[in-house]
Amino acid sequence: MIASLLKYRIEIKQVSTTRDTTGDSVRTETTYKNAWAGVKYDTGAESTTTDQRTAEVKVRFQVRYDANITDTMIVIHNGESYDIKFIEKINRDTLFLHGARINKR
């Protein structure tokens, strides 16, 4: 891995859902780690239903290998949250985290 490609600071968070005393779901995000990453915006798509427009942005984050990162985690980059859709192990040093952010308007 070429370290100079890892120019952006990201935060990787573990997401869990619990129930409060009234039975409502409560989403909790806990920071797993902060890391340097390469960021590549792959594609974007927009669709419209009767009363709602949805935009999806797909991003690939290149990070140093960490066996504990899972697809149940999220990545925070530039204040935006991306769900990790799948993880691609490139070699013993590198992972690509394929993420997506969906905006509903």
Q: What is the pLDDT of residues 7-45, one digit of tens each?
A: 999 999 999 988 888 888 898 999 999 999 999 988 766
According to DSSP, the residues that pair with 98 across neighbouring strands are 60, 86
- Enter the pTM of the model: 0.81
Residue of 12, 42, 13 lying closest to 28 (CA atoms): 13
Q: How confident is the model at residue 54 (pLDDT cuts 50, 70, 90)?
A: confident
CA gap 82, 27 in Å, rounded: 15
Catalogue the E-assigned strands of the chain: 8-19, 25-48, 53-64, 73-77, 80-89, 94-104
List of domains in the chain? 3-104 (2.40.10.270)
